[in-house]
Structure 1
Amino acid sequence: MLTTTSLTFLLTASVVLGGPTIARHRGCATHIEPEDIVVAERHFDANKTEAEKIANTAVKVYWHVISKDSTLAGGNIPDSQIASQIQTLNSDYAGNITWTLANTNRTVNADWFNNAGPSTSQQTAMKASRQGGKGDLNVYSVGFVNGSGAGLLGYSTFPSSYSGAPQDDGIVILFSSVPGGSTNGYNLGRTLTHESGHWLGLYHTFQGGCAGSGTTTAGDYVADTPAESSAASGCPSGRDTCTGTSFPGADPVTNFMDYSSDACMTQFSAGQMARATTQFSTYRT
């Protein structure tokens, strides 16, 4: 049985999307036990508020540029790249959820740029600048050089974490993962698309493997994402890791919640959008 402490940990846990050092690959560094996810989903089922209409979901974005110096290589990404990233979000969510840049602030702090990561003092200090309310997305772009953040592409909090730790809410991404960035294979802005999916309550498409897919009661808790036993990488053709009549459809390697390369990612499913807007309506309004 889950204790209050362990449930609080579950609901405030961040999803960590692993990134590259030399050859870049996605990977998850935060593990949540399946039984803990079941408890969290029971809480969601008992408290969820259905969104009136998917298209009603609008999100303001507060962008925090954290750099080690004033150069682009040092993390000082220009307004044009931030605008391109917001455009990518709106394109990827296809009008179901709209994103508007509310403000950009810039901080030169080499310690935060290099060392901010999950459960670090640098992250705590950096996130003290958070703006807006529970329905507003705060994005922090950093370098992920050392410590718990070394090699990451990004990480995010879940909607259910807000009430317990509002100061931690938001997404931290690698500055060079935005459109036009220098991270080969991951510079079309899909890191933020993926992480914003987590911020809206989505799990990975391969959550729970073959046994946990294709249902709203296990796995990624979305019925229309085909079963997938493990994360994809690159952009594999014809990948089908869950075979047989019980698992129709090839792996959803083009889904934004898989681990494929940016160029391979093209879609959310209708079920994912329904879940995301309901999570938003329940926890972020």
Structure 2
Amino acid sequence: MEITPEKAAEYEERLRDALAAEHDREIVEQTTVPVAVHVISAEDGRGDVTDQRIQEQVDVLNKAYEGGYALGSEGTDTGFRFELSDVTRTVNDAWFSDFDRHRDTIRSELRQGGPETLNVYTTQLGSGLLGYSTFPQDYAEAPDADGVVIAHDTLPGGTRDRFNEGHTGTHEVGHWLGLFHTFQNGCQSPGDYVDDTPYEREAAAGCPEGRDSCPELPGLDPVTNFMNYSDDACMTHFTQGQTERMAEHWAAFRSGPARV
């Protein structure tokens, strides 16, 4: 999903306002996030994801967010851990074939928990779309919409070429925790609002290591960062700055009563 510079600035202002209003709210070092997975499938079996693959997706999240894919010193343990709390299964051809058309109904019927519960919907998505997510700032105004939607074939062992190791989930959960794409705002300040991710003119495709799309600015493009568009096999890490930003969003919007 793409966020306009204006929307990104609005989200940033709301984050700073929320942190200022809740200045005594503790930012903890480790957080366990309950995960409710909602499998939307067709009557002919398409999209029917097994319990094993669901657990493998949660395992990928845990490994990614604890820094287990990082090479050398490039990444960090974010402190976020994920625990599967429930799996629901809905067989509905209409919902499966056109999730976006029915998504308000789907999410109002299936969503569980409060702002601290990660709801993941697996289904068929059109036009090559891998997934999308809401942001923490959206919860207070639209709690039923909160969550992550991912194409069922992007889970570990899926059939989506180049994107079947589970990192669509990793990426979209990053948005759910408040992160923008590494290429947000291109080569222009403030970029993705994270100091230790180099500026990047546009999304990466494949794994173009060594690319420098903003040569006048420090650092090579962060093509191996989970918040890029690189192939799953290319993605390895979050940065310390991203870790701090996710912790801020959790403290401001997800650790207690919903705040606007």
Task: Find out whether 1:187 has 2:164 as its counterpart.
Answer: yes
Among 254, 257, 260, the alignment partner of 1:284 is: 254
Unaligned runs of 5+ in 1: 1-15, 17-27, 213-217
Task: Find out whether 1:273 has 2:228 as its counterpart.
Answer: no
2:142 aligned residue: 165
Structure 1 vs Structure 2: percent identity of aligned residues?
Answer: 45
Structure 2 Cα separation of the partners of residues 83 and 167 of structure 1: 24
| Residues 158, 165 of structure 2: 8 Å contact kept | yes
Give the deviation of 1:144 after TM superposition.
Answer: 1.4
2:207 aligned residue: 235
Unaligned runs of 5+ in 2: 67-76, 256-260
CA RMSD of aligned residues (A): 1.4
Among 84, 87, 93, the alignment partner of 1:110 is: 93
2:63 aligned residue: 91
TM-score between the two structures when normalised by the length of structure 2: 0.88
1:144 aligned residue: 125
- Aligned residue identity for 1:116: F
Sort the Cα spacing of 1:67 and 1:231 in 2 relative to 1 into closer, same or farther, 3 A: same
Give the deviation of 1:51 after TM superposition.
Answer: 4.6
- Aligned residue identity for 1:112: W
Give the 3-state SS of the residue equivalent to 1:152 in structure 2. Answer: coil
Give the deviation of 1:85 after TM superposition.
Answer: 0.4
Give the deviation of 1:44 after TM superposition.
Answer: 1.2
Task: Find out whether 1:35 has 2:6 as its counterpart.
Answer: yes
| Residues 142, 174 of structure 1: 8 Å contact kept | yes
Larger relative contact order (C-alpha < 8 A, sep ≥ 6)?
Answer: 2
Cα shift readout 1:131-176 (whole Å, capped 9, x = no counterpart) = 111110000000114xxxx421101000000000001000111001
Give the deviation of 1:42 after TM superposition.
Answer: 1.8
Give the 3-state SS of the residue equivalent to 2:246 in structure 1. Answer: helix
2:72 aligned residue: none
Give the deviation of 1:43 after TM superposition.
Answer: 2.1
Give the deviation of 1:204 after TM superposition.
Answer: 0.4
| Residues 14, 137 of structure 2: 8 Å contact kept | no
| Residues 140, 172 of structure 1: 8 Å contact kept | yes
Structure 1 Cα separation of the partners of residues 184 and 8 of structure 2: 10
